[in-house]
Amino acid sequence: MRVFLGVSGASGAAYGGHALRALTRAGCHVGLCVSGAGCQVVSHEILGEGARPVAPRDVVVQRFVDRFADPAGTLEVLDPRDIAASFASGSSLTPAALIAPCSTSTLAKIAHGTGENLIHRAAEVMLKERRRLVLIPRETPLSAIHLENMLTVTRAGAVVLPAMPGLYMLPQRVEDMIDFVVGKALDQIGVPHDLLKRWGEPQAVAT
Ligand SMILES: Cc1cc2nc3c(=O)[nH]c(=O)nc-3n(C[C@H](O)[C@H](O)[C@H](O)COP(=O)(O)O)c2cc1C
């Protein structure tokens, strides 16, 4: 399955990393696009090198890929300026796009159709083609503008799936909390995974 994965500049780059790992592990063909601000957050939160990376963007993205991508899938690394990429066209049969994390700025551009980069365009394509678009926003507290934009994209067909991990599964590690959110996102686009326990269901036993 082809999936577009946008990583924008909200805190929580690990949501994008865990999504990349789970999608490639499931054998998906992933079009990965990290925004400029997304690169800064990856540098700070994943690479531990601060939010003003010295390394060029390609190096930051490659290190993100090396850390999370699984060889079971295939990957296209896309420049956010490349609005000629296949994912920018509705003629490309990509059934789903995930933006993880989704900044409030990217949310606003999707809500108002004022896209400036490939992430915004790929999201717009999902909405116009009535395909699956899942946004994982991370901000707190939320202003009326954020909330209205979430309602606008929801009315247009997107799924707003905030980075709000449930605690009822008694997570032991931060990674468990990230996987809870990413697992819910993958459920929305129909990609199989074993990222979360399912309430009331027996745990699968590895053979
Ligand atoms: C370290 C860091 C953390 C940030 N955290 C958030 C956040 O949690 N949510 C958010 O909406 N924006 C956050 N921002 C601001 C966005 O990066 C900024 O609005 C940017 O313009 C978003 O651009 P993009 O949507 O093209 O990635 C953060 C920026 C930095 C540098």
Nearest Cα residue to atom 7 of ligand 1:
10
* pTM: predicted TM-score of the whole model, two decimal places: 0.97
Task: Give me the pLDDT at residue 25, please.
Answer: 98
Q: Residue 132 is part of a domain; what is its CATH number?
A: 3.40.50.1950
- How far, in Å, is the centroid of ligand 1 from the Cα of 139? 9
Domain that holds residue 28: 2-189
Q: In Å, how far are 90, 104, 111, 142, 185 from 146, measured between CA atoms? A: 27, 7, 10, 6, 20
In a domain, 14, yes or no: yes
Q: What's the number of domains the chain is made of?
A: 1
Interval 99-110: pLDDT, tens: 999 999 999 999
- How far, in Å, is the centroid of ligand 1 from the Cα of 23? 24
- Mutate-to-test residue for ligand 1 from 15, 33, 41, highest number of ligand atoms within 8 A of CB: 41
Interval 137-177: pLDDT, tens: 999 999 999 999 999 999 999 999 999 999 999 999 999 99
In a domain, 197, yes or no: no
In a domain, 88, yes or no: yes
In a domain, 78, yes or no: yes
Question: Is the CB of residue 81 less than 8 Å from the CB of residue 34?
Answer: no
In a domain, 64, yes or no: yes
In a domain, 199, yes or no: no
Q: What is the mean pLDDT of residues 118-147?
A: 98
- How far, in Å, is the centroid of ligand 1 from the Cα of 138? 9
In a domain, 195, yes or no: no
In a domain, 202, yes or no: no
